[in-house]
Amino acid sequence: MPRLASQVNGERIFILGTNWVPLDAYHARDRERLDRAVEMVVDLGCNLVRCWGGNVYEDDRFFDLCDEAGILVWQDFAMACAVYPQDDAFGARLRDEVRAVVRRLRQHPSLALWAGDNECDETWVWTGGRRRDPNRNVLTRSVIPGVLREEDPSRPYLPSSPYVDDVAFASGRRLLPEDHLWGPRDDYKGAFYTESVCHFVSEIGFQGCPGVESLERYLTPGERWPFGGSEEWRLHSTAPLPGKPSMPKARQSTRLTLPSMIGAWAPKQMVAMELAVERPMPGNCCWIVKLNCCTTAFFRFGSMPCSVRGM
């Protein structure tokens, strides 16, 4: 199976990374938070930041700070979790976008890798009721690499993250050298995580719950507890659907209090992330799913809600 490894100046390095998402829902305010956010990256000991494909293209200040701190940047082009149009008109618009982005960022020594998108190969394979080969995606196999050959030919390029090449597609996705480990959320020590064969984990995480102080900022008093049947908890869940509970009934016990539920869940999330970072595996990286997120959302991964509000 192919391996995705990282070298700097000829030396192979272990990557401890994090994914970067917009710092504020109002992007005009992103810049004022950049310095503090990059300080968090340094404090965590991360040596690479992945600018995720559902992101915006960051301000030049971000890349300047990464240059100064010696932090590598993996830059996805801004496509994520979808099958994008394959016609010539869309390809031409993407070609112009890629050229503009590359010309703006290619001089930064921190920029280590271009990636075509986030999880679009996965979407090609699994959506629409039929199994499609993502290597037929002209955007990431032809349009983007064509621009890179002209504008930045020496920098590595990954067509998608995770990248489903011919070998991985033929194997039914079993042989992915780089992967996003989002599996069962009931057991962070389960076989899905501990027996993964990928050598580069570019996304991994585990569910938790935001603190009471954060919840009080966007949930009205009568909706905070219990969460069972709460329209506001449902509204802030990953995929709010009419008639669907925000949490499974088995977990909607009124014997708990909101602070005690949060207090019980936080250590479990902490241990899960500790195991993710320290687990023995044949690869050369581990990734924190998101350093920061500006959304006030719960993510219902399995049995409990999660907030990824980091700042």
- CATH value at residue 129: 3.20.20.80
In a domain, 304, yes or no: no
User: Is 274 annotated in the active site?
Assistant: no
User: Is 97 annotated in the active site?
Assistant: no
**Residue with more model confidence, 284 or 6:** 6
Task: Report pLDDT digits (tens) over 181-218.
Answer: 777 666 677 777 777 777 778 887 777 777 888 888 88
> Which amino acid is present at 51?
C
In a domain, 122, yes or no: yes
Domain extent at residue 51: 6-176
User: 288: closest CA among 179, 173, 202?
Assistant: 202
Task: Report pLDDT digits (tens) over 9-27.
Answer: 778 888 888 889 888 888 8
Region of 41 on the Ramachandran plot (φ > 0 left; ψ -120 to 50 alpha; else beta): alpha
In a domain, 201, yes or no: no
In a domain, 78, yes or no: yes
Query: β-strands 48-51, 15-20: how paired?
Result: parallel
In a domain, 300, yes or no: no
Among 108-117, 133-142, 166-175, 294-303, the minimum mean pLDDT is found in: 294-303
In a domain, 115, yes or no: yes
**pTM surpassing 0.85?**
no
pLDDT number for residue 311: 31
Show the beta-strand stretches assigned E in 9-110: 11-13, 15-20, 48-51, 72-76
Range ranked top by mean pLDDT from 252-261, 262-271, 280-289 = 262-271
Which position has the token pair 């970072």?
Answer: 277
In a domain, 307, yes or no: no
In a domain, 46, yes or no: yes
Show the beta-strand stretches assigned E in the chain: 6-8, 11-13, 15-20, 48-51, 72-76, 111-115, 157-158, 178-181, 200-204, 285-288
- The active-site residue out of 203, 213, 223, 231 is 203
Among 16-30, 45-59, 80-94, 149-163, the minimum mean pLDDT is found in: 16-30
- Total domains in the chain come to 1
Cα–Cα distance, 1 to 262 (Å, whole number): 41
- The active-site residue out of 58, 119, 122, 178 is 119
3-state DSSP: the chain helix, strand, coil percent, rounded to 5?
A: 35, 15, 50
Phi, psi of 148 (to 5 degrees): -65, -35
pLDDT number for residue 89: 98
Q: How confident is the model at residue 309 (pLDDT cuts 50, 70, 90)?
A: very low
Record the tokens describing residue 12, joined without a space: 């192979």
* Cβ contact 163:198 at 8 Å: no
Question: What Å distances lie between residue 218 and 90, 221, 238, 310, CA to CA?
Answer: 39, 9, 16, 15
